[in-house]
Structure formats: structure tokens, C-alpha cells
A and B are shown apart, each in its own frame.
Chain A
Amino acid sequence: MKIFRVATLAVAATFAVSGCAGGDGGSSSGAPDDALDITFSYVPSSFDPPDVGDNPTSQFLQPVYDTLTQVQPDGSVGPRLATEWEYTDDALQVLRMTLRDDVTFSDGTPFDAAAVKANIEHFLTGTGPAVNNVRTIQEVVVVDPTTVELHLSEPNPALLRYLALTAGMMVSPAVLGQESLATAPVGSGPYVLSTDGTVSGSKYVYTRNPDYWAADSYPYDQITLSSIAEVTARLNAVRTGQADVSQITPKTMAEAESAGLDVTHFSSGDIMQLVLIDRGGQLSPALADPRVRQAINMAIDRESVVSAVYDGLGQPTTQLFNPSSDAWLDELADRYPYDPAAARELLAEAGYADGLTLNVPEFTGIADLFAIVAQQLGEVGITVQSTKVPDAQANTEMRSGKYPAVLQQLQSNDPWQAIQLMVMPQSAWNPLGYQEPALDELIRTAQSATGDARATAYQELNRYLVEQAWSAPLAVAETVFASEDDVTVTPYAYSVIPPIEGYAPAGS
């Protein structure tokens, strides 16, 4: 039949054409050497800084916005839009910053102290995860066009670091508060978002801002950040040259290495833990007893968690603080060895020889970890009851205060950030608002201390939290990147993913 013949011919022709076009046998889009292509699994929901959490989604905002300060590879904070700063009072509640006077936003608006004020005030009206970190900023005072003062209601030891992240991102005041900001950023950063090539939700192309005040520090003329959900597809993209760097997973690391790719892995500061929310015993009276919480810490084999869940790529830990931080204590690493017998003894001592039940939410993101934890806790008499929740609502559910314990991976970088996130009465991950006088005292001391005294205060706090088994930390996860050999990826302490400055042509 004619139609059949025509159809066959058409199909054959299509394949012939594609065969001819594929004559070079290589990738379809080889990026020029001055362009960088990275793929992640994340997607930015908006280009308005307060809507975006810090690392890793803020990655998409970094190329277009300058921040007040800048993170360094060793975790310290250096100058950027702010050239110098100091606390002008002993209570550490007034931060005076001197600003650059040679910066202009890409729409022509000049950068000055008034812009800083407008931005910070805008940020504080936001509702994203990073906003709580800087709620202590009460007022921003413009002293003169290059001097600004941040007045705090209480000291914030991690403030300078937050000003290197989304809280310090400076948007042109002309577009603050406008709806277009969600999709069309206007910043003063090293790159601008290009409408040509950018496909919202999957690919973001950034072209060099030729007027940038430090253009020489950025080797690439163009950066493309793509969002690809499937790790196999991300790995394939690097293998076939469609991308220069891809974030992969510990489980795909071996495949990347055997394919001849460069693999970089480093501690991400994400600490997988069984957050023992109900320290006050409201939902589960047993958890109020430190011995029960200590027993939980000794019932789980952290080594097996790392090998089963992270394919061996992770660091077992008993501490809530980042290993690179001032709060970290090597001596605490062995505080809770894997010892089910000792765990059972502790439980019996506390009066729970017959065991107890814990209702813990389960979602697909932690399915394999959940199985291990439930099994190991079961072996010492703690029955873990699973409540299934959809992935998209998992975080909201876990922080609702309905569960005595939850299993989740929490970011821990600067010690104060970790404290704000997990340990304070108003912390998001302390939803039942538990506090005790001794802990309050330790937090206050750390908050007002400076220099070495602060480091000591953090360590004291760390010791207390571990001793009291505030939570049951399991392991520190690692970030894994696969890259072609013409790109070097430099890990930054405290960053889940390195900032844009962490990628450079190899050998430079």
C-alpha cells in the first residue's frame, strides 16, 4: 500500500539524515574552552534571594549577584562588596561595614549603603529557609554612601558568613519587590543571566558581565548551569562531553572513575541523624531520659550506615558540628561505640527493659537508611513505627512537632549556624521548643564570646550536647563531582557545593 511505502521511506530517510549529521561521532554541543557547563539535580525556584535557601540552590543566583562578604576555601570570610568591617560595641551588636564605591548594577543603578539597606530590609520580609538566620538584624543604618551599620538585637556569631550567602546578595534596588525579580535577576555580579539559551526549570546560561569590577578573577566567559534530575543522565552528560562537571552520588562514583573521569569528593557538612526531637518527653516519655537517648546512640552501627547508604563515602560521627569547625572535638568521636548490649543495659536501667515504641516519619529519600535504623533499634527493644509521608511534604511534616524523632540530613557548617538550626528553643529542627537552663547558659556564652574564647565555648556546648545525647548523629555525608580533566573543582570548607569561584580550568 502506498502509504506504507511512503512511511518506510520517510523513516529510512530520517535515519539516514541523522546518520549523516552524526558524522563527527562526538557530542552535539562541545562547549568552547572559555565556557563552563555544570549539571546538578537542583532547580532554583526564584531569583529573589530571600526565597532561596543557602547552598545548594543558591548556586544559581551566585553568578549574577555580588555578596557583601565572600567565603574562602578554608571556610573563613573575606571582603567582597564590603572591604572592611568591625563591631563598634563590646556587646557585638553593631556591625559597621565599609563598602566599595566603584560598583554598579547591570541596570545602571549605583551600589551604595542605601542599596544595602533596601536589600537587607527586603530579605527580612522573606520566608525562605535562610531568613531565620539573620532575624537578629533589627535595623540597617546608612551612615554615608560607603558606610553602613547593622544593628542587631543580639549577637550573631555567624553573621559575617551569612552575608557571604543569600542574606548578603545585593539586588538592584530598582527591581526589589517586583514580580519580575523571580525570573529576571538584576545584580552586580560577574555574570548576567542570558535570555538566549536559558530555559526556565532546566538550563540557565550566564554570560560574562564585561564591566565587572573583578572580571580577571573569573576565567570563563560563559557558564551554563543545567538541572537534570536523573544521576545517570548527569553522568552520561559528562561522559559524552555535553557537560564539563556534574554532581553525582557516592553510588555512581565507581562508574565515573572507571569511565576515566576525574572524581572529586569532599565532606559536605550534611549530617545524617536521628533527630531526637522529644527531649522533653511530651510525645514519648522515654526520650526525656538521657540514658534512653544514649542507648539509641549506641544501638546504631554508624560504619554499616556509611557503607550501606553512602557506599563507604562518609564519616561516622557522634557530633552535630562540622568536622572542620571550631566546635569539633576528636575525642568525642568514640563516645558512643556500637554496643547493642550496653544499649540494652542502659534502657533497662532507665526502666525500659521491655522496650519502647517510636513513631518516625518515612519518605522515599531516606528509605534505605530507615530500614537499617529501624532494624538496629529493634534489636535493642526499640520498635520503630513508620509513618509514610510524601517526599515533597517531608520537611514540613518532620518539623511539625507531631513526631518524637525524625531521620534527616541537616546541614552543619559554621557552629552558630548549626546551633541556630537545631539547638535553640526557636530552632526549626527543635519544633517542640525544648530547652534547659544549662544549655541556654552555654549558648549565651558562645554567642557573646570572641576569638579563642568562642571556640572554647563551642566545644563546651558540643561536649554537653554529645554527653546529653541531644540527638543521634550518624554520619557526615560527602559531595561527589565527576568532571572532565580540563576542569578543576576546589572544595570549599562549609559549602555543600563550591561557589562559582571553585571551578577553574585545569592547570590555572
Chain B
Amino acid sequence: MLGFLAKRLASGVVLVFAVSAAAFMLISIAGGDIARTIVGDAATQQQVDQKAAELGLDQPLLEQYWSWLGAALRGDFGTSWFTNLPVTELLLTKMPITLSLALVGTVVSAALGVALGTIAAVRRGIVDRLLQVLVIAGFALPGFWLALVLVSAFAVQWGLLPATGYVPFGFSPAEWARSITLPVAALAIGVTGATAQQVRSGLIDVLRQDYIRSLRGRGLSNANIVLRHGLRNAAPSALTVISLQFINLLGGAVIIERIFALPGLGAMTLDATTQGDVPQIMGVVVLTVGIVVTVNLVIDVAYGWLNPKVRIR
């Protein structure tokens, strides 16, 4: 197990390096006179050049990446060019918000997906058809439209939940839960479908197997067979889908954060990218890749634990 973990960790680290290098090249190629945009209209060319030198923009790309990398490895992600705030501080303040959305969204959609998928696989017939339709609808509805409808109904019309803003968990767990309910709903409804489908087909396959018939022959109850044996064997493929959904939700959070005015990583990335704020963008890229690698690692461990046959020696 440890060897497996170590190998995955190593490949994760390589991934972070590769993605950060690629991202850096992409942003830098985008061009535009960043120094002048930062410094402002009234600046003389000399002041613009001074700013450019200060930010290292007059050096070759590889040199710029190298100095960023050197600082990053020491834990210094620099200062945002446009807001003058340290990037690390920005990331730490905003990460909990986006993670709240993505993690809770994943848990909720996983729970719902497993529930719906199981019911569909076991009941079949009309219930199965209905569930299929609901699931496709969830897929098809655009996340932002769903968010707007939810906010309109639950926040504005009925005043049940807040329309904007995020309350940190440490401040008030109840308020935190209320502030993320609508955003999570908007995010989760869309992705529940994929999980439900995967669980459904996986479970149907498993329930068709011979050993299930023998278990039934031995007198085990239906519930026991489905929940303990069926799901446990169908779980690996479901887990793969769930880990992919997490990545989806991380990306989907960008739009949702804007609609609900949640000051998370998504909103920050949007602004940083349009402005060309390189330190911020790089910080977000490294953080996001790190999160994704970690989550995938956790899922892989769960995978291995659930089904010993799958563990890689």
C-alpha cells in the first residue's frame, strides 16, 4: 500500500510542475502591455519600463518562470500585481469557500446519485425510466440557469436562504450551511445524474452475476445482497465517476461563485485571468492541481480498500 501511495504522490508532484509550466507559458504568450495597465494612464514610458523591470517582465520567459518557481518552492507565491495583496493570503482566505462548495457538492451528489442509482437498478420498470429522465434533465440544465432559478425562488421570493455571501464555518456552522445550500444545490443537481447512471449500470451488472444468485440461494435478504454485496462490488466504477465530478464541481464553482457573490477561488481566477495577473493565476493553478491530485489519491486509496483485488502491488 505504501509503495502504491508513494508512486501516486510522485506522479502528482510531477503533474503540478508540468501544469504550472504550461500555464505560465500560456498566460505569458497572451501578451498585452501589462505594466502599463497596472501602472496607469498618467505614467510616463520611463515609469512603465520601471514597473516592467520590477515585475521581471523584461526578462525572457524561461527566466521569469524560473524565478517564479524558485520563490514558489520556498512557499512565496508573490504579490498580486493588481491588488497588492500576498497571493498565499488570498489563496488561504478563498480556498475554504470553493472547497466547501466542491466537497459538499460532491458528497451530496454522491449520496443522491448512489441512492437514485440503487433504486433504479433494483426496481427497474417505470421507476427506472422516470429516474433516467430526471437524470438526463439534470445533465441538460445549465448550472447557472439553475442557480438563478434557485436564488429567485428560495432566496428572493420565499426568503428562506441567503441570496449572496458566504459565512465561514468557524463563524457559525448553521449560517455556513445556509449560505452554501443554494450554490451546492445548483452544482450538485447537474452532476448527480452521471453518478446515478454509473451506479445503476454497475449495480445491474453485478446483480446479474452468478455469485449473487448463490447468495440469494443461501437465504440472504434482498437488502443485504444489494447494499452489502452489490454496491460494494459496483463501488469502484462509481468512485471513479465521483472523483471526476469533484473536478467538474471545482470548475463549475467559478460561475456559481459569481452568481451568489461568494468570494472564492473561482471569482478570483476569473478576474485574475482577464486582467493577466500572473502571480494570482499561477497560485490558483498550483493550488487547484494540488487539490485534484490529493482528492484523486484519496479516491484511489478508497478504491483499494473497497476492493482488495484492485490494489496494485
Contacts and interface: CB of A to CB of B under 8 A. Distances in A.
Interface stretch (B2-10, B110-118, B206-214): B110-118
Given A17-B173, A22-B161, A390-B276, 9 more contacts: A45-B83, A127-B41, A228-B164, A232-B259, A233-B258, A236-B151, A242-B165, A390-B30, A392-B275
20 contacts: A4-B231, A17-B173, A21-B174, A22-B161, A51-B40, A127-B40, A127-B41, A130-B42, A179-B84, A228-B164, A230-B261, A234-B261, A236-B151, A237-B164, A237-B165, A237-B261, A240-B159, A390-B32, A395-B41, A396-B33
B85 A4 contact: no
A242 B36 contact: no
A493 to B, nearest CB: 25
Contacts, number: 163
A8 interface: yes
Given A232-B259, A242-B164, A200 B174 contact: no
A108 to B, nearest CB: 26
B260 interface: yes
Interface in B260-274: 260-261, 263, 267-268, 271, 274
A233 B261 contact: yes
A28 B151 contact: no
A74 B73 CA distance: 57
A182 interface: yes
A161 B215 CA distance: 87
Contacts of A230: 258-259, 261
Interface in A227-247: 228-230, 232-234, 236-237, 239-240, 242
B40 A128 contact: yes
A233 B163 contact: yes
Contact of A14 (B161, B167, B177): B177
A179 B86 CA distance: 12
B175 A391 contact: no
B163 A236 contact: yes
B192 to A, nearest CB: 12
A233 B41 contact: no
A27 interface: yes
Contacts of B83: 43, 45, 200-201
A437 interface: no
B237 interface: no
A7 B164 contact: no
Contacts of A15: 181
A233 B262 CA distance: 10
B122 interface: no
A8 B163 contact: no
B261 A45 contact: no
Nearest to A243: B164
B59 interface: no
Interface string B25-42: 000001011001101111
A28 B32 contact: no
Interface residues of B, number: 61
Contact of B163 (A1, A128, A203, A242): A242
Q: How large is the interface on A (under 10, 10 to 19, 20 to 34, 35 or more residues)?
A: 35 or more
Contacts of A21: 174-175, 177-178
Nearest to A124: B42
Given A14-B177, A27-B162, A237-B261, A392 B37 contact: yes
B160 interface: yes
A392 B181 CA distance: 33
B25 to A, nearest CB: 18
A25 B261 CA distance: 20
A54 B84 CA distance: 19
Contact of A26 (B151, B159, B173, B174): B159
A7 B160 CA distance: 24
Nearest to A8: B111
A200 B87 CA distance: 12
Given A236-B155, A393-B33, A132 B163 contact: no
B120 to A, nearest CB: 15
B218 interface: no
A203 B164 CA distance: 12
Interface string A212-235: 000000000000001011101110
Interface string A1-13: 1001001101100
Interface string B127-144: 000000000000000000
Contacts of B82: 45
A393 B32 contact: yes
B84 A46 contact: yes
A174 interface: no
B107 interface: yes
A25 B179 CA distance: 13
B148 interface: yes
B216 interface: no
Given A230-B259, A233-B258, A22 B40 contact: no
B227 interface: yes
A242 B42 contact: no
A445 B178 CA distance: 64
Contacts of B178: 18, 21-22, 28
Given A199-B263, A229-B267, A396-B36, A236 B84 contact: no
Interface in A370-405: 390-393, 395-397, 399
Contacts of A390: 30, 32, 274, 276
Closest 10 A/B residue pairs (Cβ): A21-B174, A236-B163, A127-B43, A202-B263, A131-B42, A393-B32, A233-B261, A228-B261, A18-B177, A240-B163
